[in-house]
Structure 1
Amino acid sequence: MVEELCEGGELLDRLVNKRALGSEKEVAAIMSNLLFAVKYLHSHQVAHRDLTAANILFASKDGDPSSLRIVDFGFAKQSRAENGMLMTPCYTAQFVAPEVLRKQGYDRSCDVWSLGVLLHTMLTGFTPFAMGPNDTPDQILQRVGDGKISMTHPVWESISEDAKDLVKKMLDVDPNRRVTAKQAVQHKWFGHKETLPDRPIQEVKGEPLDMTDVKLQTCLNQTYKAMSSAPSVTLRPVGSSALAKRRMKDIIYANYAKNVSANAYCRMDHTLSPTRPPVTKMFCRTKL
């Protein structure tokens, strides 16, 4: 098997190692390319389900946004249910959508949520749900489940209203209100991306941010740890799981329908079949 060589490294490394945050113009170019890729996946009913900065690579050494590649499709799945929902929870904690945590069934919009987290991080230099290195896994996952976003940090003053609007729409806790990938690529922020500021965001603000480099890496590590160290699930009989109960209902209904059909056939067969004469009549001689 031969795969494309991606010499530019991970998007995560660029987020952590750059001394200055990227400009809005650069962030818009990156996000636009990612959304177009996800839009293509979703048009084929495929959900990636683990879109993180570590799973996005640059093919070119210079970090050209047009060379971005989405990798690691180990959790990817094509929708097969009649309602288009996926049931198996697969995620990296920092980028997981609330509906995935609730295990209530989720669709391809969970990928948009993950890109919303990435957009927030690229614009501000810090993650939306990990506030510091001392955050516990439960605290991080609780914030993800609540879906509440704060835009009170001074860095947001240097970010355009259109960018803020897109972040809010991509991180809407309700998947039914959340923008789709198709809607997101048509957002007005991308309509004038060529005229967006091309100076690093922290220079626009005029003061350094303390969430680049080490602290950003620490917050990302804490959120990855939240996923792996979450409270273990209590083992119960297989039959008590939601999936087993759902399948049992299907089996019971199928057996019921089968019995109803069989009984109806028997009644119909009894009604239409000719009455068989008694055995004595079959052997009696006919009188002349």
Structure 2
Amino acid sequence: LVGQSGASVCKRCLHRVTAVEYSVKVNEINLKTRRDPSEEIEILLRYGQHPNIVSLKDVFDDGQSVFLVQDLLRGEELLDRVLTQPSFTERDASDIICTLTKTVEYLHSQGVVHRDLKPSNIRYADDGGLPGSIRICDFGFAKQLRAENGLLMTPCYTATFMAPEVLRKQGYDAACDIWSLGILLYTMIAGFSPFASSPQDTAEEILAQIGSGKFVITGGNWDLVSEAAKDLVIKMLHVDPHQRLTAPQVLRHQWIVDRGQLSDRSLTRQDALTVKGALCATYSALRRCAPAPVLEPVQSSSLAQRRGMKKQGSPEVSSDAKEKE
């Protein structure tokens, strides 16, 4: 068993003739609960040749399950490596975010949004740990832009043919991809997650913290990194998706452009299991919330009002944000 996600599991398999090892994602056929894998298959067939996207090798359907045969990623999950390697620097974080954002920019330019860029879906292809071996995988929630007749659309052809509400939804989903990368960036720099302190945090607490747009960017590692790093985190985690940076804007940010000049001072990290558990709780809370608060601020909720949240607008980011309990 390589991994498990929702209604699917990933297992290691061996080609009977060539003896080459692959990973196979098994989607059980259950008309009531399973997601249709056709969208994931089509996206991987079209865009899986990108060097930082997992490659789809073949597809089988035995009537009970659909099998997606993919490259076997022999390296760790990205965050596992980041949180446990002896020395991790601001420059390392910038190299990783640059690679991931370039990949997301490519997908968005093709009208594709991943919508599930949690840390467990970002892995290394090998044990070398170089940014070039990073792979984005599990496109089970991914969507590609389509016209009402089902034909694929790319951004340059959408103005005349695409309904405005579809375009708005695509924009929200693209903003969510950037938000997820912002979560990863914050965690790599701070050494802990921005909106949850442990796996025991409740969904209500996490959603209120996300909706407030507040997170701590002072003290600890934040005193060791550049002002450009703080600025990028703030802009990638903006509570309003319309004001959040796009992938091209992230790539033009000073922290990415001038990353060769960033500090090589080692950053401290919390226990990897605690951090991963807190992030898992964060994404679980978002999955259970409809609509996701990362798309729509929750200032109008009774919980938000009790916590004295400010009127909608740019989030106030300060050291007075809720400390980890």
Q: TM-score, normalised by structure 1?
A: 0.66
The 1-side partners of 2:99 and 2:289 are apart by 36
Letter in 2 for 1:121: T
The 2-side partners of 1:189 and 1:224 are apart by 26
Aligned in 2, Cα 1:192/1:63: closer, same or farther, shift over 3 Å?
Answer: same
Per the alignment, residue 99 of structure 2 pairs with: 33
Counterparts of residues 48-63 of structure 1 (less than 5 Å): 48-63=114-129
Q: Which segments of 5 or more consecutive residues in structure 2 lack a partner in the other structure?
A: 1-57, 59-68, 147-161, 292-325
Q: Does 1:141 align with 2:207?
A: yes
The 2-side partners of 1:212 and 1:136 are apart by 20
Per the alignment, residue 279 of structure 1 pairs with: none
Per the alignment, residue 86 of structure 1 pairs with: 169
2:229 corresponds, among 140, 150, 163, to: 163
Query: Is the deviation greater in 3-12 or in 115-124?
Result: 3-12
SS of residue matched to 2:168 = coil
Contact 2:83/2:188 (<8 A) preserved: no
Per the alignment, residue 271 of structure 1 pairs with: none
Per the alignment, residue 193 of structure 1 pairs with: 259
The 1-side partners of 2:86 and 2:207 are apart by 29
Measured after TM superposition, the shift of residue 224 of structure 1 is 4.4
Letter in 2 for 1:86: K
Per the alignment, residue 180 of structure 2 pairs with: 114
Per the alignment, residue 183 of structure 1 pairs with: 249
SS of residue matched to 1:3 = strand
Aligned in 2, Cα 1:231/1:23: closer, same or farther, shift over 3 Å?
Answer: closer
Contact 1:19/1:213 (<8 A) preserved: no
Q: Does 1:14 align with 2:81?
A: yes
Per the alignment, residue 70 of structure 2 pairs with: 3
Letter in 2 for 1:13: D
Measured after TM superposition, the shift of residue 175 of structure 1 is 1.4
Contact 2:115/2:173 (<8 A) preserved: no
Contact 2:97/2:185 (<8 A) preserved: yes
Q: Give the superposed CA RMSD.
A: 2.3
Letter in 2 for 1:4: D
Q: Which of the two has greater helix per residue?
A: 1
Counterparts of residues 247-266 of structure 1 (less than 5 Å): none
Contact 2:225/2:263 (<8 A) preserved: no
Q: Which of the two has greater strand per residue?
A: 2
Aligned in 2, Cα 1:132/1:6: closer, same or farther, shift over 3 Å?
Answer: closer
Measured after TM superposition, the shift of residue 227 of structure 1 is 4.7
Contact 1:49/1:110 (<8 A) preserved: yes
The 1-side partners of 2:114 and 2:224 are apart by 32
Q: Does 1:126 align with 2:192?
A: yes
**Structure showing greater relative contact order (alpha-carbon pairs closer than 8 Å, 6 or more residues apart):** 1
After superposition, give the CA deviation of every residue in 1:77-114 in whole Å (9 maximum; x if it has no partner): 12345231338xxxxxxxxxxxxxxxxx8241111111
Letter in 2 for 1:128: P
Query: Is the deviation greater in 182-191 or in 8-17?
Result: 8-17
After superposition, give the CA deviation of every residue in 1:11-36 in whole Å (9 maximum; x if it has no partner): 1322443455x201111100000000
The 1-side partners of 2:224 and 2:213 are apart by 23
Contact 1:79/1:86 (<8 A) preserved: no
